[in-house]
Amino acid sequence: MSLRCYVGLGSNQAEPAKQLQLACKALDGLPETRLLSCSQLYRSKPMGPQDQPDYLNAVALIETSLAPLLLLDKLQQIEQQQGRERKAERWGPRSLDLDMLLYANQQIDTDRLRVPHYHMHARPFVLYPLAELEPDLIMPDGTPLQHLLKKCPPLGIEALADMPAQG
Protein backbone atom coordinates (compact mmCIF):
# COMPACT_ATOMS: atom_id res chain seq x y z
CA MET A 1 0.00 0.00 0.00
CA SER A 2 1.40 3.38 -1.01
CA LEU A 3 1.39 6.26 1.45
CA ARG A 4 1.98 9.97 0.96
CA CYS A 5 5.06 11.34 2.68
CA TYR A 6 6.64 14.77 2.85
CA VAL A 7 10.41 15.17 2.81
CA GLY A 8 12.23 18.38 3.70
CA LEU A 9 15.27 19.21 1.55
CA GLY A 10 18.05 21.59 2.47
CA SER A 11 21.52 22.48 1.20
CA ASN A 12 24.05 25.26 1.58
CA GLN A 13 27.14 23.64 0.02
CA ALA A 14 28.24 22.31 -3.37
CA GLU A 15 25.74 24.15 -5.61
CA PRO A 16 22.64 23.98 -3.39
CA ALA A 17 20.05 24.35 -6.16
CA LYS A 18 21.65 21.49 -8.07
CA GLN A 19 21.82 19.41 -4.87
CA LEU A 20 18.07 19.81 -4.33
CA GLN A 21 17.33 19.08 -7.98
CA LEU A 22 19.39 15.88 -7.84
CA ALA A 23 17.75 14.91 -4.54
CA CYS A 24 14.29 15.17 -6.11
CA LYS A 25 15.45 13.00 -8.98
CA ALA A 26 16.89 10.47 -6.51
CA LEU A 27 13.63 10.43 -4.50
CA ASP A 28 11.75 9.63 -7.70
CA GLY A 29 14.20 6.78 -8.34
CA LEU A 30 13.74 5.04 -5.00
CA PRO A 31 12.16 1.59 -5.13
CA GLU A 32 8.40 1.50 -4.55
CA THR A 33 8.40 5.31 -4.55
CA ARG A 34 7.47 8.11 -6.90
CA LEU A 35 7.85 11.84 -6.64
CA LEU A 36 4.45 13.56 -6.85
CA SER A 37 5.56 17.19 -6.54
CA CYS A 38 8.20 19.51 -5.18
CA SER A 39 7.81 23.03 -3.83
CA GLN A 40 9.66 26.02 -5.16
CA LEU A 41 13.00 26.88 -3.61
CA TYR A 42 13.26 29.04 -0.50
CA ARG A 43 16.34 30.79 0.85
CA SER A 44 16.81 30.91 4.62
CA LYS A 45 19.45 31.88 7.12
CA PRO A 46 21.23 28.99 8.84
CA MET A 47 19.71 27.85 12.13
CA GLY A 48 23.05 27.32 13.83
CA PRO A 49 26.34 29.12 13.31
CA GLN A 50 25.85 32.18 11.13
CA ASP A 51 29.34 31.98 9.58
CA GLN A 52 28.07 29.74 6.79
CA PRO A 53 26.14 30.35 3.56
CA ASP A 54 22.36 30.70 3.48
CA TYR A 55 20.39 27.51 2.89
CA LEU A 56 18.15 26.62 0.00
CA ASN A 57 15.13 24.60 1.12
CA ALA A 58 12.20 22.84 -0.46
CA VAL A 59 9.65 20.16 0.40
CA ALA A 60 8.94 17.11 -1.75
CA LEU A 61 5.77 15.03 -1.73
CA ILE A 62 6.35 11.38 -2.46
CA GLU A 63 4.17 8.31 -2.58
CA THR A 64 5.91 5.22 -1.21
CA SER A 65 5.38 1.66 -0.07
CA LEU A 66 8.65 1.68 1.87
CA ALA A 67 8.37 1.25 5.65
CA PRO A 68 9.39 4.35 7.63
CA LEU A 69 12.81 3.12 8.79
CA LEU A 70 13.65 1.76 5.35
CA LEU A 71 12.69 5.11 3.83
CA LEU A 72 14.92 6.83 6.41
CA ASP A 73 17.80 4.55 5.37
CA LYS A 74 17.20 5.42 1.71
CA LEU A 75 17.12 9.17 2.49
CA GLN A 76 20.43 8.88 4.32
CA GLN A 77 21.91 6.95 1.37
CA ILE A 78 20.90 9.78 -0.97
CA GLU A 79 22.54 12.30 1.39
CA GLN A 80 25.74 10.26 1.44
CA GLN A 81 25.76 9.77 -2.34
CA GLN A 82 25.54 13.55 -2.72
CA GLY A 83 28.54 14.17 -0.50
CA ARG A 84 27.04 14.64 2.95
CA GLU A 85 29.51 14.07 5.73
CA ARG A 86 27.97 13.69 9.17
CA LYS A 87 30.02 15.76 11.60
CA ALA A 88 29.68 16.42 15.30
CA GLU A 89 28.80 20.08 14.64
CA ARG A 90 25.06 20.50 14.98
CA TRP A 91 23.41 22.66 12.30
CA GLY A 92 26.65 23.08 10.41
CA PRO A 93 26.98 23.45 6.66
CA ARG A 94 25.97 20.48 4.52
CA SER A 95 25.69 19.47 0.90
CA LEU A 96 22.31 17.86 1.48
CA ASP A 97 19.90 17.34 4.34
CA LEU A 98 16.79 15.19 3.82
CA ASP A 99 14.28 15.06 6.67
CA MET A 100 11.18 12.91 6.77
CA LEU A 101 8.61 15.49 7.84
CA LEU A 102 5.41 13.46 7.66
CA TYR A 103 4.78 9.79 6.93
CA ALA A 104 1.11 9.55 5.99
CA ASN A 105 -0.85 10.44 9.13
CA GLN A 106 1.40 8.42 11.42
CA GLN A 107 3.13 9.52 14.59
CA ILE A 108 6.46 7.73 15.05
CA ASP A 109 8.82 8.09 18.00
CA THR A 110 11.82 5.75 18.00
CA ASP A 111 15.52 6.18 18.73
CA ARG A 112 16.17 6.74 15.02
CA LEU A 113 13.06 8.50 13.78
CA ARG A 114 10.56 11.02 15.04
CA VAL A 115 7.61 11.89 12.78
CA PRO A 116 6.21 14.47 12.50
CA HIS A 117 9.69 15.93 12.41
CA TYR A 118 10.49 17.65 15.68
CA HIS A 119 10.44 21.46 15.63
CA MET A 120 8.91 21.59 12.14
CA HIS A 121 6.10 23.63 13.72
CA ALA A 122 8.62 26.43 14.38
CA ARG A 123 10.53 26.34 11.08
CA PRO A 124 9.16 28.63 8.38
CA PHE A 125 11.54 27.09 5.82
CA VAL A 126 9.59 23.84 6.32
CA LEU A 127 6.04 25.07 6.88
CA TYR A 128 5.77 27.47 3.93
CA PRO A 129 7.00 25.04 1.25
CA LEU A 130 4.76 22.39 2.84
CA ALA A 131 1.78 24.73 2.62
CA GLU A 132 2.62 25.42 -1.02
CA LEU A 133 2.12 21.71 -1.74
CA GLU A 134 -0.92 21.14 0.49
CA PRO A 135 -2.37 24.28 2.11
CA ASP A 136 -5.26 22.43 3.79
CA LEU A 137 -3.05 19.75 5.35
CA ILE A 138 -4.05 18.49 8.79
CA MET A 139 -1.21 17.28 11.00
CA PRO A 140 -1.38 13.82 12.60
CA ASP A 141 -2.39 15.40 15.92
CA GLY A 142 -5.35 17.16 14.25
CA THR A 143 -3.73 20.61 14.03
CA PRO A 144 -4.38 22.39 10.72
CA LEU A 145 -1.21 23.49 8.93
CA GLN A 146 -2.80 26.94 8.57
CA HIS A 147 -2.85 27.23 12.39
CA LEU A 148 0.89 26.48 12.53
CA LEU A 149 1.56 29.07 9.82
CA LYS A 150 -0.21 31.78 11.84
CA LYS A 151 2.16 31.07 14.74
CA CYS A 152 5.27 30.95 12.55
CA PRO A 153 5.63 34.04 10.34
CA PRO A 154 7.82 33.73 7.23
CA LEU A 155 10.57 35.87 8.74
CA GLY A 156 13.98 35.16 7.29
CA ILE A 157 12.83 33.10 4.31
CA GLU A 158 12.55 34.18 0.71
CA ALA A 159 10.69 32.31 -2.01
CA LEU A 160 13.03 32.11 -4.99
CA ALA A 161 11.84 30.09 -7.93
CA ASP A 162 10.51 26.78 -9.04
CA MET A 163 12.79 23.78 -8.70
CA PRO A 164 15.13 23.72 -11.71
CA ALA A 165 14.11 21.29 -14.44
CA GLN A 166 15.61 17.86 -14.03
CA GLY A 167 17.99 16.81 -16.70
Whether the predicted pLDDT of 104 surpasses 80: yes
Cβ of 51: how many Cβ atoms within 10 Å?
8
* 115-148 tens-digit pLDDT: 999 889 999 999 999 999 999 999 999 999 999 9
State the pLDDT at residue 67: 97
pTM of the model: 0.92
Mean pLDDT across the chain: 91
Distance CA 66, CA 1 (A): 9
Whether the predicted pLDDT of 90 surpasses 90: no
Distance CA 83, CA 160 (A): 24
Distance CA 71, CA 58 (A): 18
Q: Where are the domains of the chain?
A: 3-159
Task: List, as one string, the DSSP characters of the chain.
Answer: --EEEEEEEEE-SSSHHHHHHHHHHHHHTSTTEEEEEEPPPEEE--SS-SSSPPEEEEEEEEEE-S-HHHHHHHHHHHHHHTT----SSTT---S-EEEEEEETT--EE-SS-EESPTTGGG-HHHHHHHHHH-TT-B-TTS-BHHHHHHHS--TTEEE--PPPPP-
Q: CB of 30 within 8 A of CB of 100?
A: no
Catalytically annotated residues: 84, 94, 97, 99
CATH architecture of 3-159: 2-Layer Sandwich (3.30)
Distance CA 124, CA 152 (A): 6
State the pLDDT at residue 167: 44
